[in-house]
Amino acid sequence: MTPLRERFIEDMRLRGLAPTTQRSYIHYVAEFAKFYKISPEHLDLEAVRQFQLHLLEERKLSAESVNTYISAVQFLYLETLEMPWKKEDFVRTRKERKLPVVLAPDQVRRLFDFIPGVKNRMALMLCFGAGLRVAEAAAFKTANIDSARMLLRVQLGKGGKDRYTMLSPGLLEVLRLYFRVMRPTGDWLFPSWHPSRHISPGVLQRACREAWQLAGLPKRVTPHTLRHSFATCLLDSGVDTRVIQVLLGHSNIETTAHYTAVSPAKIASTASPAEQLLAGPWNKTQKQVARSRTA
């Protein structure tokens, strides 16, 4: 391991970057150096830009992947190498705004009918019933079930932040049944084959993909789809967007607001400004329409 790589990893640990983020950053910085066949400390911003174009135009990577690369080299140059550059010098690739895919209640039921294994089914139920990310569900600790206050404590979620989310009576009942059947030992609610480790998020993703294919649902379903569906169901039930923001662990309310675009119930129940204009019997607009019919 080179001194630069070692310092880069140490800096990421010191700043509390998630292990998955660290792995992504190491991967992209290594690809960057491999592309130019030289250490990044000898490269400049133009090299960063040209490799970004290479990822977009030649390797056809998504905007999300390219922006992860930009975050990685930005961290390397600003934090580890302490270059006199600004964050604005690292141009982000514009992402297409796509509406999140959500499932109707009957589609959720059909999906869960095909999820293989009690452990997989229960972990994915936390994604739908409590809005957890798949990595949060996989690494959930038994001690973080607070049945007295009907809360689930999510430790070290995205951005290294803790939060509380809801524990509904139905979800608590299913969790108790899971305990009676599976009898998990150790810290993890969903232990792996080795009790000192938790189940891999990849296992849950594969289980969800398999269930989606067997269920024959038209929309591609991932564990994150279940999290999206959780948020949309709350929105349809009239829960305030800021409450949903806290439950999901979103730093920005704008991220949560995207769910309003995929909630037909919310759209249908929203009053149009025209209602005030048209209030009252035979207002001016209605009279004009009536006259045009008789003309």
* Residues designated as active site: 133, 158, 224, 227, 250, 259
List all residues 6 or more positions away from 190 whose beta carbon is below 8 Å from its beta carbon: 119, 122, 123, 137, 138, 140, 184, 198, 199
DSSP alpha helix (H) spans, 99-140: 105-113, 118-130, 134-138
Give 47's contacts (C-beta < 8 A, 6+ positions apart): 36
The dihedral built from the CA positions of residue 172, 178, 181 and 186, taken in this order, carries a sign that is negative
Q: Residue 94 in contact with residue 63, Cβ under 8 Å?
A: yes
| Greatest extent of the chain over all pairs of C-alpha atoms, in Å | 86
Structure tokens at 243: 């409450």
Nearest Cα residue to 48 out of 72, 64, 24, 27: 72
List of residues 6+ apart from 146 with CB closer than 8 A: 152, 153, 167
Alpha-carbon distance 154 to 162, whole Å?
A: 6
